Amino acid sequence: MKKVIVYASKTGTTEKCANLIAKEIKDVTIVNIEEQNVDINQYDLVMIGTPIRIGFIHKKVKQFIKNNFELLKTKKTAYFICCGFSENEKQYYEQNIAKELLDKSIIYTTFGGEMNLEKQKGFDKVIVKMVSKNIKPQNKKVEILQSNVEEFIRKINEIDKAN
């Protein structure tokens, strides 16, 4: 089965997660859609990764999903988001990806995220500073949720073995 991970990354966390997945899944192609286009006709399984910024998925991922909507309905799919507030996962998916696509996907989940101030620019830097101040008093840790990454990989590998 031919597999592809299509992603966009603002500060590198989504790219890091795409690479974590690729290390554990055989024969997978990784495509950063900020740098190149991809024709998903040639793939059986399409994994899509995106960061969340102020509640919304990356604009290149949004456009990719819009451009490939009908084709994605015919493919095996899986989605992952990287975000600082994983407890809002359901809301993020509901407002960004059509229920029709999510209902037929193998898995959709959040991988958590990282808040690396040095990688932020402009307005994003201001927001990350504000959010960081609010998180610290609550002792909330923003990190990649390794167990979610492992579950995602497990589900993909199960589908791959079955085909």
The predicted-structure confidence for 52-68, as pLDDT tens digits, reads as follows 988 999 999 999 999 99
What CATH number does the domain containing 24 carry? 3.40.50.360
Question: pLDDT tens digit string along 15-40?
Answer: 999 999 999 999 999 999 999 999 99
Question: pLDDT tens digit string along 96-117?
Answer: 999 999 999 999 999 998 755 4
**In 83-153, where do the E strands start and end?**
107-110
If one counts the domains in the chain, the total is 1
Contact 10, 27 (CB under 8 A): no
Residues 103, 32, 84, 24, CA torsion sign: positive
Three-state secondary-structure class, residue 2: coil
What residue numbers bound the domain in which 134 lies?
3-162
- Residue in this structure with the two tokens 């006709």, named with its chain if needed: 41
- Could you tell me which of 160, 145, 158 has the C-alpha nearest to residue 20? 145
Q: pLDDT confidence of 133, banded at 50, 70, 90? A: low
